[in-house]
Chains A and B, each alone.
Chain A
Amino acid sequence: MVEPEGEPWVTLNGVRRPLRSPLLADLVREAGHDPSRPGIAVAVNGEVIPRASWTLRRLERGDEIEVVGAVQGG
């Protein structure tokens, strides 16, 4: 994928995507999750970001974000 020079991007659960807003909470919302509902957790570059900080945390080009939740498991 050829991008314009300087176009910010991040990876979300291993998939590269453009960074439209620098705020983590916006990315969580873009990914289809309501940041106010419990049940998910977010890590940025391997560091777990507490829910209360999602609206403050600014993302940078190349950040690796994981959004995880509970699935059926033993």
Chain B
Amino acid sequence: MELPEDPWRIAGQTLGSRLLLGSARYPSRQALLDSLAASGAEIVTVAIRRVGVGSSAENLYEVLRERGLKILPNTAGCFTAEDAIRTAELGREALGTEWVKLEVIADEDTLLPDVEGLLLAARALVAKGFTVLPYTNDDPVVCRRLEDLGCAAVMPLGAPIGSGLGIRNPHNIQLIKERAQVPVVVDAGVGTPSDVTVAFELGVDAVLLNSAIARARDPVRMARAMRHAAAAGREGFLAGRIPRKFYAEPSSPMEGRIRT
């Protein structure tokens, strides 16, 4: 079945796919590439790390570029604004892109965003000309602050990174979407295709996911499922859901029933 075309725009770029994929923790490089293809994603995130002699780091960059993917460096593992800014600058230099997925992490157990550091780093990177895509809490106030600082999107978490717990606070995600002028990308926490569907039913523009595909028993199949889940949720959102009601409402007419 052909999925309907449903392009969207982020930072002046038009994209056909509403899924962004992380590239970590796949069983193999090939599984990553096949999953990217199956998901239809056009943007893939990478981390910036020291490269050793004869390492395959350049290969990853070239392999992803050859496939026409837009590579989005992240600042994963940075616990201070200073480290995140430096990592972003290295990513820009290495990969030739102004875009950065900004992460400033508070602690290793929750990997939740350090909002104070995040706002500091976002302000600095916007001033340095970066297109800043911040990973943040599902907090509408923080998302508004990030937008006011000039971020090109806001990327609230559905649940902690890698937890697979789904969209823990759908109300907040909806609030964020309703108030934002920039695209809203749910980033982190997705476990299943239905989580992706829920995110899109709430109206978000895109979903960034990694572990839910990479750690699945069959990543390529899960990537394909996520693609369909995204289309289902997005179509459902555009179609307009029925209002919730407390009591039942018959779908068959009550008139014309036989009498016994």
Contact = CB atoms under 8 A, between A and B. Distances in A.
A31 to B, nearest CB: 6
A43 interface: yes
Dominant SS among interface residues on chain B: mixed
Interface in A19-46: 31-34, 37-43, 46
B26 A72 contact: yes
Interface stretch (B51-59, B168-176, B251-259): B51-59
B86 A71 contact: no
Which range holds the interface residue count of chain B? Answer: 35 or more
A50 interface: yes
Q: Which of A14, A31, A46, A68: most chain B Cβ within 10 A?
A: A68
Contacts of A70: 46-48, 57, 60-61, 64, 71, 73, 91, 94-95
Contacts of B113: none
Nearest to A72: B23
B50 A72 contact: no
Kindly name the residue among A46, A66, A67, A70 whose own CB sees the greatest number of chain B CB atoms within 10 A: A70
B90 interface: yes
Contact of B25 (A37, A41, A74): A74
Contact of A74 (B60, B94, B95, B161): B161
A48 B91 CA distance: 10
B46 A71 contact: yes
Contacts of B48: 41, 68-71, 73
Interface of B: 22-26, 32, 45-55, 57-58, 60-62, 64, 71, 73-74, 76, 86, 89-96, 161-162, 210-211
Interface of A: 13-14, 31-34, 37-43, 46, 48, 50-51, 66-74
